[in-house]
Amino acid sequence: MADHNTTFIIHPGGTLQGPVRVPGDKSISHRAVMLGALADGETEVHGFLEGEDSLATLRAFRAMGVEVEGPRDGHLRIRGAGLDGLRAPPGPLDLGNSGTSMRLLAGILAAQPFDSVLQGDASLSRRPMARITHPLARMGARIETAPGGTPPLRIHGGRRLQGIDYVMPVASAQVKSCLLLAGLYAEGRTCVTEPAPTRDHTERMLASFGCEVLREAGRICVAGGGRLRATAIEVPGDISSAAFFMVGAAITPGAEVCLTGVGINPTRTGVVNILRAMGASLDIENERMAGGEPVGDIRVRASRLRGIVIPRDQVPLAIDEFPALFIAAACAEGETVLQGAAELRVKESDRIQVMADGLRALGVDARPTDDGMVIRGGRLGGGCVDSHGDHRIAMAFAMAGLRADGIIEIRDCANVATSFPGFVELARHAGLQINVMQSGKGSCTRPTSGTAMERSPREHSPPVITPPVITIDGPGGSGKGTVSRLLARRLGWHFLDSGALYRLVALAARHHDVALDDAAGLARLARNLDVRFEEDSDLDDVCIYLDGREVTGALREESCGEAASQVAALAPVREALLDRQRTFCRPPGLVADGRDMGTVVFPHAALKIFLTASAGERARRRYKQLKDKGMDVRLDSLLREIEARDARDRGRRHAPLKPAPDAVHIDTTSLTVEDVVARILALWRERSARASVPV
């Protein structure tokens, strides 16, 4: 396993706006591959979810000789092998993290003429399988598990299965589907009775493939001995993925999203019903049918949520959505009570304990019970949350960042790709302030009590963030630019001159006639800056192009610096430049020069420096620089300008010039550039040796 992992960093102040199209439904994607592979003829699938789990199902069928073209942009063409056309796989089938793949495949493989082994990753290897192996054994299957009824599953081939009438002790769509799929091969009828309705995608899709499915009052039956006919499948957007955006929009003042083309199968809309009961403004528009499944556009607006006792009958219909719903509960007025959801303890993680721990780390009163949780809504603070590799927990806490008043750091998020490829990009596009870091493995240090962690993430276990960042902040003329550039060159790292970005906005404003107090117009310019930085090795400098024109000289003019200082005071401009600045953080590392690098843009930087020098010294340096360029300037007016600019940069409300609390101060008044660079390099070596980061 890799010795690094993915950390999400969520900054406060984000929102959610606009239309959002979530990826295809995971449950339906799995079933489309399975039934397509077992059908006679060619099945076309559109909207297939190209996530790790559904790809694991696809790999398994390929290993059993099924020919599949794709996936290409969610499109698959499956040449069905027929119910009896699968071939023995060359080795164990590895299903990664996917419980659905393992449980449904077990039903199919129990009836094959060949032996097979199903295995998974560490998390899947802990999940209970007796719930399927027991009823399958009653049908005549022979399956061995690890002690405790967990994977791997060794399935013996050549068994004749008999139809059974099975009453499920726990409502589970995976168990039901497993038995119905085995039932396709069994003698006579296989019937499953469910104690509460569970998702019915298998039944609906079996019917689309021409299989007769009998459904009456909680009992579903199929007969063995039939055939499946290939068909076309349109996979709708996954409501479980949409749920994060529903909760995100409901809890964020001013937010409104429209989730388009989402599957609204009534066995999956528990999250809609529960959010409505909590007072969410949630409308379903444009309802239609696609491939046997109901589909609609879900519009959600910011709402005042209230705590509720979650109706028991909704629990199985929202089972995967509880991580997101717990976040809604944390933002609601009063108490929310969930009972009857013990199932959550055996998902990809123990979702009751892990969510309770995470909520407490953010200062929320969350009390786990055996089969649920009691959450008292209130203020959400910043803090560090360990997702335990559970993708839904990671995404739920990412949405909590919309309401938190501090930075949320979420550890162990690499598995988000299992169910929601493109989550980060989609969420960022909609307005969530999310960044991804490759960080040192390891969990957050647990808070000593269950109270809010007011501390910023750096105050608990210091994360070793790669690529590393050194921030150099300070007033103009303190030597930041020269020192940062030299330092970046010595380390072989990237360099961000953030001041140049503010100067570029000021210059673009001049070119496009945008007034320096038109915050919205300037923010638009900032978002759409067409700029290029080009290394010029002959000049040992960087040439900067704006809209294709070289502007390196114009940017350095005093008038441009003065205008930059004005536009830099506007919050919308600063926000618009935030993401662009963070994209400079690439391996092997970044030296970032500015005013708020250590406080706002890279609060997790490995080393933060604050450079100062007396105003007189800074004016003298600037004077010499400009004179060397042949410019006609006066020392006294430069000093006045420097003092005025300092006052503006320090006094502004948004991201003022100030040292980060953990910055190292260096007064450069009587130091040479070489002295300063050497000091910073020494500090970096010392720090990286302590944190074992390669220099």
* By CB under 6 A, residue 561 contacts ligand DC: yes
User: Is 297 noted as a catalytic residue in this protein?
Assistant: no
Query: Which of these is catalytic: 53, 200, 297, 320?
Result: 320
Beta bridge partners, 609, equal 472, 664
DSSP codes of every residue in 355-390: HHHHHHHTT-EEEEETTEEEEE------EEEE-TT-
| Per CB under 6 A, 80 contacts ligand DC | no
β-pairing, 293-301 with 256-263?
antiparallel
**CA distances (Å), 363 to each of 73, 454, 677, 695, in order?**
42, 8, 41, 37
Least separation in angstroms between residue 522's CB and ligand DC is 13
Between 368 and 499, CB nearer to ligand DC: 499
Rounded to whole angstroms, the Cα distance separating 315 from 196 reads 9
Please give the structure tokens belonging to residue 378: 């209130």
* Closer residue to ligand DC in complex, CB, 109/642: 642
129 binds ligand DC (CB under 6 A): no
CB of 547 to ligand DC, least distance (A): 20
Closest to ligand DC by CB, 417 vs 578, is 578
Determine, following the binding rule CB under 6 A, whether residue 596 of this chain makes contact with ligand DC: yes
Least Å distance between CB 58 and ligand DC?
A: 47
Our finding on whether 503 is near ligand DC (CB under 6 A) is: yes
Considering the complex, state which of residue 215 and residue 627 has its C-beta at the smaller distance from ligand DC: 627
Q: Under DSSP, is residue 104 helix (H, G, I), strand (E, B) or coil? A: helix
Residue 555 CB, nearest approach to ligand DC (Å): 8
Nearer to ligand DC, 199 or 622 (CB): 622
Examine residue 109 and tell whether it contacts ligand DC (CB under 6 A): no
Q: What is the DSSP pairing of strand 408-411 with strand 4-10?
A: antiparallel
- In sequence order, which ranges of 415-557 are alpha helices (DSSP H)? 416-419, 423-430, 480-491, 498-512, 519-527, 552-556
Identify which of residues 433 and 565 has a Cβ nearer to ligand DC in the complex: 565
When asked if residue 594 is in the footprint of ligand DC (CB under 6 A), the reply is: yes
Do the beta carbons of residue 480 and residue 486 sit within 8 Å? no
Q: Give the pairing of strands 549-550 and 541-546.
A: antiparallel
Q: At what angle do helices 26-38 and 201-208 cross, to 10 degrees?
A: 40
Please select the residue that binds ligand DC; options are 248, 499, 598, 603, rule is CB under 6 A: 499
Site string for ligand DC, 455-474 (x = CB under 6 A): --------------------
Burial tier of 340 (Cβ tally within 10 Å: 0-12, 13-18, 19+):
middle
Q: How far is the CB of 647 from ligand DC (least distance, A)?
A: 11
Q: Which stretch binds ligand DC (CB under 6 A): 204-212, 236-244, 392-400, 591-599?
A: 591-599
Q: Minimum CB separation from ligand DC for residue 558, in Å?
A: 10
The residue whose two tokens read 């528990």 is 270
Q: Is 9 within 8 Å of 198 (Cβ atoms)?
A: no
Closest CA relative to residue 20, chosen from 272, 234, 241, 290:
241
The residue within the footprint of ligand DC, chosen from 95, 155, 568, 576 (CB under 6 A), is 568
Question: Other C-beta atoms within 10 Å of 81: how many?
Answer: 19
Residues 473 and 660 sit within 8 Å (Cβ to Cβ):
yes
Query: Helices (H), strands (E): how many in the chain?
Result: 22, 32
In 407-447, the DSSP E strands lie at: 408-411, 434-440
**Is residue 575 within the footprint of ligand DC (CB under 6 A)?**
no
Binding residue (CB under 6 A) for ligand DC from 565, 599, 612, 668: 565
Q: Which of 235, 645, 663, 666 binds ligand DC (CB under 6 A)?
A: 645
Rounded least distance, CB 496 to ligand DC, Å: 9
- Nearest to ligand DC of 493, 502 (CB atom): 502
Minimum CB separation of residue 286 from ligand DC in Å reads: 45
Total residues at the site for ligand DC (CB under 6 A)? 14
What distance lies between CA 29 and its chain's CA centroid? 21
* C-beta of 53 vs 596, nearer to ligand DC: 596
* Stretch of residues binding ligand DC (CB under 6 A), selected from 92-100, 268-276, 412-420, 558-566: 558-566
- The interface region with ligand DC, picked from 243-251, 373-381, 421-429, 594-602 by CB under 6 A, is 594-602
* Residues that are catalytic: 320
Binding site for ligand DC (CB under 6 A): 476, 498-499, 502-503, 561, 564-565, 568, 594-596, 645, 649
